[in-house]
Each structure stands twice: as C-alpha cells, then as structure tokens.
Amino acid sequence: MTSKEKTQLICKLLSAGKAVGIVYIAVENKTSLCDYFVIAGGRSKIQVKSLAENLEEKLKKQYEIIPRRTEGVQGGRWAVLDYADVIVHIFGGEERDFYNLERLWEDGANLTRYED
C-alpha cells in the first residue's frame, strides 16, 4: 500500500467515525518525518478518543497496519498516531484552533480537504 493509499484509507475510516474537518497534507518535500499528515477533529474528548481507538483497531485487524507510536489518546484532546509514512492528528476543537497545523504545513497546493 502506498502512503497516499494509506492516507485515503485513514481519511475514509475517520469519516465513517464522524470526524469533522478532515484534511490531508502532502509533506514529503518539506520533512523527512513522513509523507502525509492527516488532520481531523472530534466534537468532544470522548469522540477524539473513540476516533483514535477505532482507527487503530481497524487498521490493525483489517489491514495489519500498526502504529509505531501513539500519544494523547487517553486524554481526548489531541491524539497522534504515527504510521511511519502517515502521521494522524485528531484534535478537539479548541486544540485544533490553537495549534493550527494546517497553517503551519500547507502551501496552498499540498492541502486536500477530504470529501466522501
């Protein structure tokens, strides 16, 4: 599976969980960390936690894709799942507005808003 295919799969799974404001940003020419960032929002701490846990479970069981590391899932404010070539950020509303990763990483051409 290519990094773009993995990114699109992650977006699809997040959308199925009712994540809001799903975007992905191609960063392969900007950093060696990964090829894509996926940024999504949850409407509550419980939803942020649920989105992260469900994403991790489905990728593991259905596709044998396991994150290298996860952070913040239990807190429900900002969950990060590192899938090597794709890093997923799931934010609560205030945290997303405060950190505004889209503004930091996008250059106009590399940000895509996910639509079902």
Neighbour count for residue 88 (Cβ, 10 Å): 28
109 — pLDDT class (breaks 50, 70, 90): confident
- pLDDT, position 116: 76
Give the pLDDT band (50/70/90) at residue 24. very high
Count: domains in the chain: 1
> Domain containing 67: what range?
3-113
- Cα dihedral: 34, 84, 59, 52 (round 10): -70
Q: 45-63 and 3-16 are packed helices; what angle lies between their axes, rounded to 10 degrees? A: 130
74: domain CATH number? 3.30.460.10
- Single-letter code of the amino acid located at 64: E
C-alpha 73/C-alpha 51 separation (Å) is 9
pTM of the model: 0.93
